[in-house]
Amino acid sequence: MTLETVSTSKAHGGTLGVYKHESTSTGTGMTFSVFLPPQAVEGAKLPVLIYLSGLTCTHANVTDKGEYRRACAEHGIVFVAPDTSPRGEGVPDDADGAYDFGLGAGFYVNATQEPFAEQYRMWDYIADELPALLGANFPVDLDRMGITGHSMGGHGALTLGLTYPERFKSLSAFAPIVAPGQVPWGHKALGGYLGDDRGAWRKHDAVALIEDGKRPAGAVLVDQGDADGFLAEQLRPELLDAACNAAGVDLTLRLQPGYDHSYNFISTFMEDHIRWHAERL
């Protein structure tokens, strides 16, 4: 798998790079960023943390605003930020150009409905293709891989972490969509990508996965701002809390006073999450 280097620059003693490649999962070009901390010397294999972004985002949002580099340099963590959907000429989008479906809103599923089924395969991309690409091109130890994300990306992190605990050894999320089968964003996305069979939705719903017996590799950390405008209708962390309590899953859910849904919130608690993953990886 050939990588094209878009840019590199030094940060906190390490290297931040942006890369492009042709994806076998989506059949399109894909772009992602990688921060290599200063511990990435010849012969070293470092733990890696994949960050999944939310609706409307690309790799660039957290890369530019996430304030993760200092903590990753301190703890020796490779930080990877992929895109949120396939992109390019001919890639289908929402018919009305809405922000919460189509381009920038892949929801980390393998679509089964036309015209999305051929290219909207972000589940395969994150679960399989991206880790293989990282292992072949960067000094990462795939046996020490964690996953986190924000909003739609928090949904993706939780569902992938619950489904593949043997791959993702640590798990956290910022303001995740915890039960897409019970909220409007999820109804639109899962219905549009997976069809009307709600049984198929359960594989992409963290609360449903826990109810159906899936468990993470270890404890889970979730931060949520209590001034988040999406809290009551779309995010509903109380549903995750209840499911984890019923199943005996070790969840640390922190409701942060006064914080909203923005990168001001994410960047404030990013170092806590990097430390959380470092302790487990």
Dihedral angle computed from the Cα positions of residues 32, 19, 68 and 180, in that order, rounded to the nearest 10 degrees = 0
228 is catalytic: yes
The answer to whether 273 and 157 have CB atoms below 8 angstroms apart is: no
Backbone angles phi, psi at 20, to 5 degrees: -125, 155
Q: Which residue type sits at 100?
A: D
- Out of 151, 204, 205, 223, the active site residue is 151
What are the strands, taking DSSP E only, across the chain? 4-11, 14-22, 29-36, 46-52, 78-82, 140-149, 168-174, 220-225, 251-256
* H or E stretch at 205: none
Q: Which of 204, 261, 273, 277 is catalytic?
A: 261
**What one-character DSSP code corresponds to residue 200?**
H
Q: Is 262 a catalytic residue?
A: no
Least Cα distance to 253 among 277, 220, 278 occurs for 220
Spot the catalytic one: 59, 170, 228, 273. Answer: 228
β-pairing verdict for 251-256 and 220-225: parallel
- Centroid of chain to Cα 96: 26
Determine whether 196 is an active site residue.
Answer: no
Instruction: Give the residue numbers marked as catalytic.
Output: 151, 228, 261
